[in-house]
Structures are given as C-alpha cells and as structure tokens.
Structure 1
Amino acid sequence: MSTVGFAYGAQAATEFLDAHRLSARTPFQTCGWWRAWIREAAESEGATPVLVHTMRPDRPTLVVGLQLHQDGGTALLRPLSWPWADYHEVAEAGDTSHLGAEPDIGGVAKAIDRCQREFGARLELCNLIADGPLLRAVSELGAVLQPSDTVFRLDLTDPDVVRRVSERRGIQRKRRRIERLGKLRLTCADSPERVAARLPAFIDLHARQWRDRPDVVAPFDGDVVDRTYAAVAAEPSSAARLHELWLDETLLAGWFGFWRDRTYYTYRAAYDAGHARDSPGHLLTAAMVSALAAQGADTFDLTRGDYAYKRELPSSRALTMSASLERPCRV
C-alpha cells in the first residue's frame, strides 16, 4: 500500500531536499539542481514547487518534482525546473536498500492524480524519458502522449564513433591551422570550487558571443540566470563540470555540463566568435570526446534540441515525450 505526501512551497520543498539524499536518474533530479533552482529561479518563473513523494515498505521512495503555475484562471502543473531542465523523471529518496527494485508505477500514478485533484490543475509535462517511470505513471492515468524533443547521444564505448568525432577531416584541418598560432589545451573544472572560479569567464564568453543577437535563449543578464548557474555549480550533488579549450592563454570555447553515471550531459556552450572560422566549438567537442572516452565514459549526451551541429556528429537519436491531462474535479 502506497502512502502519498506533498512538500508544497519553496521552504517545504527545500527542507525535504535537505533531509533526504536523492538517487537521481538524470542531473536534473539531483538535490543540488532542484535546491538551486528553487532558491534562485522559481520565483522569477512564477512557480510554486511541489515535491510529490510516494512510499511503500518494499519499494524505493519515489519523488516527483512538479511546479504549480497560474495561467490566468487556470492552474497548471509542470515539471519542476521547467523550462530549464533537459530531462524530467522521478527520483528515489532515502533508504537505498531497495534500489534496483521495480519502481512503484501505480503509486506514482496515484500520487500525481491526488496532487492534480488537490490543486484542480491541468497536467502539462514535457521531455519525459521514453519508457521511464514518470511516463509510465501518467500513461496509467490516461494522459495524452506525443513526442516532445529529439535528443542526441554519442556512444563513447565505440572506438569508431570516437575516432569519427575527434579525427574527421575538417576538424584535423582546422586544428592544424589554429595550432600555427599557439598550443591548444583542454582543461576541466571538476569541483564546486574550481567551477566557481571559472564560471565568470564562461559567462563573459557567452555574453560576448550572443550580444545583440535576437535568437539568444535565457541569456546571462547579471541576474537570475547567472545566480542560478552559480548556485547549481556550488552544489556538490549536481556534479557540474566546466570544460574549456584554450589557445595558449586565450579562452576559445567552454561547455558547462554534468557528469553522472559514466555519462557527460552537455548543457550550455560558448565560444569566441573572433575565431569562428576555426570552429572552436567543434574543436572543443572533439577534444572532450577523446578525453572522456579515455577516462571511461560511456556516453556523451548532447541532450535536447535538433541542431545542425548535432546532426553532423555520428550520434544516435531518441525522442523524449510530453504528456497532458485535463484538469479533474477538485476534491
């Protein structure tokens, strides 16, 4: 028999996260990511956090992160940290003795249904992992499902994939050309302290690249975006990483992402537009793929977004899913 509970509001949700260790299925369900986003971004997004948790003695405690919005006179439940997160899924909390057991799909469905009825809200979920527990749970509730976004991944256990990314002809030519100007080197800030030290330079690089461009998404503005990145990076459980490609002492490109379960998840990239003809972003990707494969990584996850540079890579494609469920009668 499942027991359902809610942690409603920023304070209650943060206290829940402070009291529980989560086993996250992606970087976007870690305590660190959720806690930082709640503290720095939720208010600006007009979101009230709701952590829905379902417990039963023979299964892991499952946690669904949601956020409540008011859209005119309509209440909406969306995934917690929408639209910032690239993936949405359940997390597991507390006792790890049951990890690996079949998730309590029925309990998650019951919990979401109760939450939806409590708030009289329409459910609008996106970027759910295909065949994951959250998608299976809302399917049991009769949610309308459809594709959400395409995600791209590189298999770093395949030497041919690694070779095709790091040694393809165009990359070799551009690497040789730029190395006439100096020495290329790859660095990685791999602790909260090191990421904090390098983050201002990355933000400045991104701001210079996108300055005055109308197609910029969530630009660094010296306010909520900057603070949220810094807060996420400061959380050890978020496992944030900042890779940088240098030409001598000149920063050419950077990638802010996450390392989890032998997978590197990309999140936001920036490069020096003054070196655009040499494709510093592609050079950074090639260097990272080689380095991560050598370190034993299994996957280079390019996350959501069907962009040309991802299609050029020898990547596999998969779809995330969205789910919607009309507002029920309030109890």
Structure 2
Amino acid sequence: MNTVAFEFGASAAMDFLDAHRLSARTPFQTCGWWRAWIREAADAEGATPVLVRLTRTDRPALVVGLQLHQDGGTALLRPLSWPWADYHEVAEVVDASPTGSEPDIAGLAEAIDRCQREFGARLELSNLRADGPLLHAVSALGAAPRPSDTVFRLDLTDSDVVRRVCERRDMRRKRRRIERLGTLRLTCADTSERVTARLPAFIELHTQQWGARPDTVAPFDGGVVDRTYAAVAAEPSSTARLHELWLDDTLLAGWFGFSHDGTYYAYRAAYDLDHGRDSPGHLLTAAMVGELAAQGTDTFDLTRGAYGYKLELPSNRASTMTVSREQPCWV
C-alpha cells in the first residue's frame, strides 16, 4: 500500500532533509543542493518548497522536490530549484528503504496527482531526463512530453574521444605558446572546505568576464547568487568541485561543477580575458578530461545550452524533456 505525504514550506522541507539521507539521480537532487537552495534562493524566487514523499514497504521510498508559485491567480508547481538546476528527477530515501528494486511509477503518478489536487495547481516540469521515473510518472497521467533543452556529454570511457579532446592540434599549439610564459598546472578543490576557500576567486574571475555583459544568466552580484553558491559549496553531500588552471601563480580559468555517481557535471565556467587568445577555457577542459578519465570518471556532462565550445567537442547530444499537466478536476 502506498503512503503519500507532503512536506510543505521551507521549515518542514529542511527538517526532512536534515533527518534523512537521499540517493540522488543527479547532483541537483542531493540533500546538500536542496538545502542550500531552499535556505538561500527560495524566497528570492518566490517559491514555497514542497517535498512529495511516496512510501511503500517493498520499494524504495521516493521523494519529488517541487516548488509552489503563484502565477497571477494560478497556482503553479515546478521542480524544486528551478531554474537553477540543469536536471530534475526523483530522489530515494536510503536510510530505511529497500534497495535494488525499480521505482513505483504508478505510485509516483498517484502521488503527483494528489499533490496537484492538494494545492489546486498546474504542473510544469522541465529538464527531465528522458529515461527517468519522473517523466514516466507524469506521462502515465496522460501528459504529453516534448523536448526541453539539448545537453552535451563526453564519453570518457572512449579513448578516442579523450584523445580528440586532449590532443587537438589547435590546443597543442596554444598550450605550447602559453607554456613559453610559465608552467601550466591543474588543481581541484575536492572537499567542501577547499571549495569554500577557493570560491571567492572563482566568483571574481567570473564577474570580470561576465559582469558587464547583458546576456549573463544569474550573474554574481554579491547577493543571492553568491550566497547560494557558497551554501552549495559548504554542503559536503552536494559533491561540489572547483577545478582551476594556473599559469604559475596566475589563475587562467575555473570550472565549478559536481562529481556524482561516475559523472562530472560541468555547471559554470570562467576564464581570464587577458589570456583569451590562448583559449584558457579550452585548455582547462582538455586538462580536466584527461585527468578525470585517468581517475575512472565515465562521463563529462557539459549540461544544457548549445554554446559554441560544446559544439566543437566530440560530444553526444541528448534532449531533456518538458511536460505539463493542468490542474486535475475533482470527480
């Protein structure tokens, strides 16, 4: 028998996340990511967190993170941490749940339907994984999925892909040219303490590159974006990482991302404009791909957005999905 419950509001959601361990399908469903976003960003986004819990004795307990908005006079449910997260999925409670069985899609569909009825809300889910249980559940309710954003991934188990990224002719030429000025080295802040310590330098680098551009998405401005990144960095379960490429003591480029379940998720990058002709961002990517592949990482996920640098790489393309469902009618 299914048991469906709702944790409504920031306080109730935080209490639940503090009390349970989650198995996250992407880094954007970890306790650390959700806690940081709820604490620092939810109010600024006009969002009320709602955790939908589905419990069965013979299946893993599932959690769907949602946020409730008021769009004019209409209640609207979106994924928790939208639009910050690049992927949205369910999580599983692992502290007192069976393991190894498939998610209960029918039960999950029932829980989502009950949530919509509880709050009298329209459902608008974007950036769902095409093969994930959340999309399957909403589709089972009769909603028709459609493509959302294109995402790009590098298969690091393919030695040819790794070689093509690391040994591109133009990259070898630029690497040789910049190495005439000093020694290149790659570093990685791989604990919450180290990421927290290095984050201000990354924010400064990103602000110098993007601060004056009108097309910047969620720029660092000393406010909610900075605080949210700092909160994510401070959460060990968020699996945040900060890779940096240095020329002697000069920071050339940085990438803030996540190492999760055999995949590196590249979230936000920045580079030193003074060295732009040498493509420090590309050099950083090449160095990271080589190191991550050697460490046994399976995939370098460049996440959403068809930016030019992603199109130049030997990446696989896939589409995330969007699905909408109107407020159910009571029968």
Length-normalised TM-score, structure 2: 0.98
Name the structure 2 match of 1:81: 81
Distance 1:271 1:96 in 2: 44
Name the structure 2 match of 1:164: 164
Name the structure 1 match of 2:32: 32
Contact 1:50–1:65 (8 Å) recurs in 2: yes
Post-superposition offset of 1:119:
0.9
Residue ranges of structure 1 left out of the alignment (5+ in a row): none
Alignment size in residue pairs: 331
Q: What are the Cα deviations for residues 260-280 of structure 1, in whole angstroms up to 9, with x where unaligned?
A: 111100000000011111100
Distance 2:310 2:292 in 1: 18
Name the structure 1 match of 2:11: 11
Higher mean C-alpha deviation, range 301-310 or range 41-50: 301-310
Name the structure 1 match of 2:91: 91
Provide closer, same or farther for how the CA distance between residues 96 and 307 of structure 1 changes in structure 2, counting only shifts above 3 A.
Answer: farther
Write out aligned runs for 1:38-53 (5 A): 38-53=38-53
Post-superposition offset of 1:307:
1.2
Name the structure 1 match of 2:211: 211
Distance 2:231 2:264 in 1: 20
Residue ranges of structure 2 left out of the alignment (5+ in a row): none
Post-superposition offset of 1:95:
3.9
Distance 2:206 2:94 in 1: 38
Distance 1:329 1:69 in 2: 19
Q: What amino acid sits opposite 2:6 in the alignment?
A: F
Post-superposition offset of 1:145:
1.1
Name the structure 2 match of 1:60: 60
Post-superposition offset of 1:26:
0.2
Name the structure 2 match of 1:261: 261
Q: What are the Cα deviations for residues 162-208 of structure 1, in whole angstroms up to 9, with x where unaligned?
A: 00000000100000011111110000000011001100000000000
Name the structure 2 match of 1:279: 279
Name the structure 2 match of 1:181: 181
Distance 2:99 2:288 in 1: 31
Name the structure 1 match of 2:325: 325
Distance 2:220 2:258 in 1: 19
The percent of aligned pairs where both chains have the same amino acid is 79
Contact 1:263–1:301 (8 Å) recurs in 2: yes
Name the structure 2 match of 1:132: 132
Distance 1:313 1:100 in 2: 36
Name the structure 1 match of 2:70: 70
Name the structure 1 match of 2:306: 306
Name the structure 1 match of 2:148: 148
Q: What amino acid sits opposite 1:158 in the alignment?
A: D
Distance 1:172 1:330 in 2: 64
Distance 2:99 2:155 in 1: 26
Q: Which segments of structure 1 move beyond 4 Å, counting only runs of 4 or more?
A: none
Distance 1:240 1:266 in 2: 10
Q: What are the Cα deviations for residues 124-160 of structure 1, in whole angstroms up to 9, with x where unaligned?
A: 0000000210000000111131000111110111111
Distance 1:235 1:109 in 2: 31
Post-superposition offset of 1:96:
6.1
1:246 to 2:242 alignment: no
Q: What amino acid sits opposite 2:240 in the alignment?
A: A
SS in 1 for 2:145: strand
Name the structure 2 match of 1:229: 229
Distance 2:82 2:211 in 1: 25
Contact 1:60–1:95 (8 Å) recurs in 2: no
Name the structure 2 match of 1:201: 201
Contact 1:119–1:330 (8 Å) recurs in 2: no
Contact 2:256–2:266 (8 Å) recurs in 1: yes
Post-superposition offset of 1:97:
5.5
Contact 1:199–1:230 (8 Å) recurs in 2: yes
Name the structure 1 match of 2:316: 316
SS in 2 for 1:322: strand
Distance 1:95 1:271 in 2: 41
Distance 2:256 2:330 in 1: 42
Distance 2:327 2:271 in 1: 44
SS in 2 for 1:144: coil
1:109 to 2:102 alignment: no
Q: RMSD of the alignment, in Å?
A: 1.0
